[in-house]
Chain A
């Protein structure tokens, strides 16, 4: 039982490049989330999903897109990376009323 798995763990991009971060969970959770973590700012919600085929904006959605084509997967896309998107990205999943389970994070640097 792997829990929440994020791919890749590290990535360096050049400004303007695109990439997709993958989150996979094997706990059959309904809800999935993408956060970014920056020094002194805690975790900020980018996008989330309450079920397969649904997505919604969080507090910092600009510059990101997401998709949830399968219940177990939640993809975060950067269409045109900017240095301001340098951050550590965390995926999480949960059932309603229950705690979130987190992945180990993806460290993304935009040069």
Chain B
């Protein structure tokens, strides 16, 4: 079985300050984990992925995430928020060999000028 929990439905940060979006997962096997971003009225765009290589994964637009097996977490971070980061972010888990991916319910990120 696989599941994912995004711990915050809404996060607000000031421009130029760090971003932390939290994700915990449950998986019976070594999972693949992904973060997607969705801007208003757009489809989902892949930010980064973890597939059992390096535990610190770098993505696009300065985002990165760290896979911590002991904590079953895959939190998304960015050192300095930009106005263009305002969007909804989805954490996704997939067990190897499972055709279906499981999505979190999303975290809406608001950037305060």
Of the listed stretches A11-19, A73-81, A102-110, chain B binds A102-110
**Which among B34, B51, B94 has the greatest number of chain A C-beta atoms within 10 A?**
B94
Interface 0/1 of A12-37, CB less than 8 Å to B: 00000000000000000001010000
How far apart are the CA atoms of A67 and B31 in the complex, in Å?
29
Chain B residues positioned under 8 Å from A50 (CB to CB):
99
Residue B7 lies at the interface, judged by CB distance under 8 Å to chain A: no
Closest CB of chain B to A93's CB: distance in Å? 12
Interface 0/1 of B56-93, CB less than 8 Å to A: 00000000000000000000000000000000001010
Chain B residues positioned under 8 Å from A33 (CB to CB):
101
Q: Is the pair B96, A97 in contact by a Cβ cutoff of 8 Å?
A: yes
Given the interface pairs A48-B99, A58-B100, the reply to whether A40 lies near B105 with Cβ below 8 Å is yes
Chain B residues positioned under 8 Å from A4 (CB to CB):
43
Binding site for B on A (CB under 8 A): 4, 31, 33, 40-43, 45, 48, 50, 56, 58, 90, 92, 96-97, 99-105
Q: A56-B99, A102-B45 are in contact. List 20 more A-B contacts (CB 8 A).
A: A33-B101, A40-B105, A42-B103, A43-B44, A43-B103, A45-B100, A48-B99, A48-B100, A50-B99, A90-B43, A90-B44, A96-B97, A97-B32, A99-B34, A99-B49, A100-B46, A101-B46, A102-B36, A104-B42, A105-B42
